[in-house]
């Protein structure tokens, strides 16, 4: 029914939307700094505070805060990217009507989706760099492999930006955002952010392992603790697949909704 975008064109044209978003971000870094507030609070209260009681996690010989830090870094990338394509896109779509002006230009709906997801990935990378710097300053870096967290944060941002975009196409109005929180917050708390998978009974583990945040945390935490293995390809594959399915759903539904 609608035009299938030529990939090469798409990449070039989507750049214009990224440029648009960064014309706005460039004005102030406040939103990016804000995105760091919550993870810092978690790191201090739970990583450092609760960590005083915990000492170390069984089988892990680093301080508790150094164990929790990489997981919070993963959630930082997740939240930054997800917020931009859920709240941000919803407002641009329904309130600001930003895309209405873009539709008559050569950009396709696919370009808009790609542009939004890419901007969100860049933001996810930036907040991850910020958080990693703070971790380093706080002495929570125990292995140089932690630098793999940066490409990992791009992949995490991709998965959650695409996921956010897909979810946004199902939202009717602002109150629907509550349902998103109903999923995001428990995932944040239970996807092995603050303790290892071994805490759960065998029967519950597959449930946790099905969560995208679980894989995101694995991908950042394992290298950060100096554990490199081919097993890391599992979260890589999971996040790529998750993001791509979400991207497919998002572009299809956005195209249908916008080209009426």
Partner 1 sequence: MVSTHPLVEARDLTKVYPARGSTPEFRAVDGIDFALERGESFGLLGPNGAGKSTTMRMIAATSPISGGSLRVLGMDPMKQGPEIRARLGVVTQDDHLDNELTVRENLHIYGRYFGLPRAVIRERATRLLDFAQLQEKAGDQVETLSGGMRRRLTIARSLINEPDILLLDEPTTGLDPQARHILWDRLFQLKQQGVTLILTTHYMDEAEQLCDRLVVVDHGRIVAQGSPQELIHRYATREVLELRFRLDERDTAAEKLRTSVLATGGTDAEGRVELLPDRVLVYTADGEAALATVHAMSLTPLTALVRRATLEDVFLKLTGRSLIE
Contact residues: partner 1, CB under 8 A: 1-3, 5, 9, 12-13, 16-17, 19-20, 23-24, 96-98, 100-108, 259-260
- The CA distance from 92 to 209, in Å, is 33
Q: How far is the CB of 31 from partner 1 (least distance, A)?
A: 12
* Residue 175: DSSP 8-state: G
* Residue 88: DSSP 8-state: I
- Report yes or no: 221 and 74 within 8 Å, Cβ to Cβ: yes
Give backbone dihedrals phi and psi of 60, rounded to 5 degrees, phi first.
Answer: -120, 125
Question: Which residues 6+ apart lie within 8 Å of 131 measured at CB?
Answer: 36, 39, 40, 72, 73, 76
- Report yes or no: 106 and 186 within 8 Å, Cβ to Cβ: no
- The tokens for 256 are 């249908």
Long-range contacts of 49-56 (CB under 8 A, 24+ apart): 50/194
- The CA distance from 45 to 115, in Å, is 36
* Residue 216: DSSP 8-state: H
- The CA distance from 190 to 179, in Å, is 17
């Amino acid at each position: 029914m609608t035009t299938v975008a030529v990939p090469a064109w798409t990449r070039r044209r989507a750049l214009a939307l990224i440029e648009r978003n960064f014309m706005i971000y460039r004005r102030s870094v406040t939103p990016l700094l804000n995105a760091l507030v919550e993870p810092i609070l978690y790191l201090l209260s739970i990583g450092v505070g609760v960590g005083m009681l915990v000492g170390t996690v069984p089988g892990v010989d680093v301080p508790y805060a150094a164990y929790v830090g990489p997981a919070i870094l993963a959630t930082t990338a997740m939240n930054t990217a997800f917020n931009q394509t859920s709240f941000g896109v919803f407002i641009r779509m329904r309130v600001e009507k930003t895309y209405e002006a873009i539709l008559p230009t050569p950009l396709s709906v696919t370009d808009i989706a790609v542009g939004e997801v890419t901007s969100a990935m860049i933001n996810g990378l930036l907040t991850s760099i910020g958080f990693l710097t703070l971790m380093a300053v706080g002495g929570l870096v125990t292995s140089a492999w932690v630098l793999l967290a940066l490409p990992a944060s791009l992949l995490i941002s991709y998965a959650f930006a695409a996921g956010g975009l897909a979810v946004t196409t199902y939202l009717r109005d602002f109150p629907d955002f509550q349902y998103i929180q109903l999923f995001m917050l428990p995932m944040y708390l239970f996807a092995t952010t603050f303790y290892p998978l071994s805490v759960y009974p065998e029967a519950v583990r597959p449930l946790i392992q099905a969560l995208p945040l679980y894989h995101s945390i694995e991908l950042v935490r394992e290298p950060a603790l100096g554990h490199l293995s081919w097993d890391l390809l599992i979260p890589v594959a999971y996040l790529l697949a998750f993001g791509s399915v979400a991207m497919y759903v998002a572009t299809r539904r956005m195209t249908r909704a916008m080209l009426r």
